[in-house]
Structure 1
Amino acid sequence: MIKQIQNKLEEIEKKENVKIIYAVESGSRAWGFESQDSDYDIRFIYVRPLEFYLRLDKTSEVIEWQLDNIFDINGWDIKKACQLLYKSNPTLLEWCNSPIIYRIAPEFEHFRNISKQYFIGKSGLYHYLKMAKNHYAKYGQDEQIILKKYLYILRPILCCQWILEHNTNPPVRFETLLKYYFKGDLLEIVQKLIEEKKKMTEKDLIDKIEIIDSYINAQFKILNEQVENFRDIPNNNYDEINKLFLKYIKN
């Protein structure tokens, strides 16, 4: 599969006339709880020739390459990536910290390094709490739930806890968060869910588990207040990102 992915990246470069400087896995495979039929969520950042950035007309900053049962492939232009870095976009920051890297150009290492300087805890907290609530809202009153949804709810809750405690990007791997925050029965139950998910399909249902539901509801009450009261100081200096952007498009 790695070879197929590399071939697709090369195909994108040729047909779109871009240079891909970073490509990673995102979603369940990066988080460490993919199912048997999980697709490959491939995300990339690319640079176009200099004249593209000097045009007066507005041009697309996104390449949506493929979406089917096997691959979900899309990428962002370096200009868009730099703008989102300034805003501490949580999705971009997860890409920067993905444990599964398909390609990384030497010059992109600096981008990953300075991403830590532009982290805004409040942005991450709002993002992850909203994500958890949206997933839970669909199943709150049902007796059964799609197994993966439990993990899709628990992971962002733990990401919120990490940000509140450390004010840094949370680990991408769910297992890291799980072992840091869970102990005893709850840890064992969730670890079993992860193992079960790897044997099941994306749509398989399970009966809801009381100890997990109680934990989720309790955390929502706690996090609502903590997130609203959280304060941090964003980095409002564009200089470092501007230098980075100019370096990429001039090379």
Structure 2
Amino acid sequence: MKEHIIAVIKQIEIDHDITILFACDAGSRSWGLASKDSDYDIRFIYIHNLNWYLSIDQKRDVIEIPNKDPISIPLHPLLDVSGWELTKTLRLFRKSNPPLLEWLRSNIVYYQSYSTIEKMRGLEKSIFSPKSCLYHYLNMAKRNFREYLQGDEVMVKKFFYVLRPILAAKWIEKYSSIPPIDFQILLDNLLPSGELKDTILILIKRKVAGEGLNLEPRIDKINEYLTKEIGNLEAYTQGLNIDISDPTYELDQLFRYTLNEVWHR
């Protein structure tokens, strides 16, 4: 599959006249929760040629394949591929955007070229905003908790749609750093041994075995834990106030450097 993914990346470059700087997995595979039938959630960062930026009009800064944008080779049905243009990426990076930070931390990198991504990783600590990331994960957990875990029966994979953001938020609370993307690392660091952890470990085995779409009776022990942690995190976040210096100058310089590196070698 990796060879096919690389071929897709190269074809996107040709079809859309761009240069891709980075491509990774940002879904259940990178979380360590994939089954053999899980999608490949490919996310990439790209840059246009110089003339694209020398325009008075703002242009579309996202590529979504196959839903909204074409590709001229057959695409494996398990591939979901989308990417962000570099200036959009850097604006989101300035805001400490959690999905982007997860891309940069993915343990499944399919492709990387030029020095931009390593330079971004070098700036991670200075742009990381604990408060904005906590709000992101907490709001995701609350929304998914209301939507997925209130019925008498719950789809196995939906438990992780709430557990993972809660554990990511708890990681930030405990370590004040960007949480790892691997679910098992979060679980081992933040949940003590016991009945609750054992229950989650069984769900992991079922998810990886391909039972993610199976229905499971609602697990009250998990719901009680989530309700408690949502309340704790809401209280903690309200009192959190950390000033982050404006990184715009450094990000402007990085964008200009990348333009020069890619197009004026």
Q: What is the TM-score with the length of structure 1 in the denominator? A: 0.96
C-alpha change, 1:201 and 1:193, in structure 2 (3 Å) is closer
Cα drift, residue 181 of structure 1: 1.0
- 2-side partners of 1:30 and 1:139: how far apart? 22
1:201 CA drift (Å):
4.6
| 1:140 Cα offset (Å) | 4.2
Offset of residue 56 of structure 1: 0.9
Counterparts of 1:33 and 1:85, CA distance in 2: 26
Distance 2:14 2:79 in 1: 19
Equivalent pair of 1:96/1:112 in contact (CA under 8 Å): yes
**AA aligned opposite 1:191:** L
Gaps of at least 5 residues in structure 2 are 68-75
Residue 87 of structure 1 aligns with which residue? 95
Q: State how 1:103-142 maps to structure 2 within 5 Å.
A: 103-107=111-115, 108-142=117-151
Cα-Cα RMSD: 1.4
Q: Which amino acid aligns with 2:223?
A: D
Q: Which residue is 2:71 aligned to?
A: none
Q: CA deviation at 1:165?
A: 1.7
Which residue identity does 2:173 align to in structure 1? L
Does 2:199 correspond to 1:189?
Answer: yes
Deviations 1:104-142 (A, max 9, x none): 124121112212210111110111011111111023431
Other-structure match for 2:73 = none
Amino acid in structure 2 at the alignment position of 1:100: I
Distance in 1 (alpha carbons) for counterparts of 2:221 and 2:82: 38
Select 2:250's aligned residue among 235, 240, 244.
240
Identity %: 35
Q: Is the 8 A contact 2:131 2:237 kept in 1?
A: yes
The residue number in structure 2 matching 1:159 is: 168
Q: Provide the residue aligned with 1:70 in structure 2.
A: 78
Tell which deviates more after alignment, 171-180 or 112-121.
112-121
CA distance in structure 2 between the aligned counterparts of 1:174 and 1:151, rounded to whole angstroms:
9
Checking the alignment, whether the CA contact within 8 Å between 1:6 and 1:102 is kept in structure 2 is yes
> In the alignment, does 2:212 pair up with 1:198?
no
Structure 1, unpaired ranges of 5+: none
Give, in whole Å, the separation in 2 of the partners of 1:195 and 1:221: 29
Q: CA deviation at 1:202?
A: 4.2
> Which stretch of the first structure deviates more once superposed, 64-73 or 43-52?
64-73
Amino acid at match of 1:153: V
8 Å CA contact 2:149–2:158 kept in 1: the answer is no
Larger deviation, residues 63-72 vs 115-124: 63-72
2:43 aligned partner: 43
- Matched residue of 1:115: which SS? helix
| Residues 36, 201 of structure 1: 8 Å contact kept | no
The match for 1:250 is: 260
User: Runs ≥4 in structure 1, deviation > 4 angstroms?
Assistant: none
Q: Could you say what secondary structure the match of 1:47 adopts? A: strand
Read off the aligned partner of 1:85 and give its amino acid letter: F
Match of residue 150 from structure 1: 159
Give the superposition deviation at 1:69: 4.5
Residue type at the aligned position of 2:148: Y
- Which TM-score applies when normalising by structure 2? 0.91
Q: Is the 8 A contact 2:24 2:42 kept in 1?
A: yes
Cα distance between partner residues in 2 of 1:234 and 1:132: 25
Q: Offset at 1:210?
A: 2.2
> Equivalent residues in 2 for 1:4-43 (5 A)?
4-43=4-43
In the alignment, the residues of structure 2 paired with residue 16 and residue 221 of structure 1 have an alpha-carbon distance, to the nearest angstrom, of 46
Q: In the comparison of the two structures, how many residue pairs are matched?
A: 251
Q: State which drifts further: 142-151 or 61-70.
A: 61-70
Read off the aligned partner of 2:85 and give its amino acid letter.
D
Tell me the CA shift for residue 150 of structure 1: 0.8
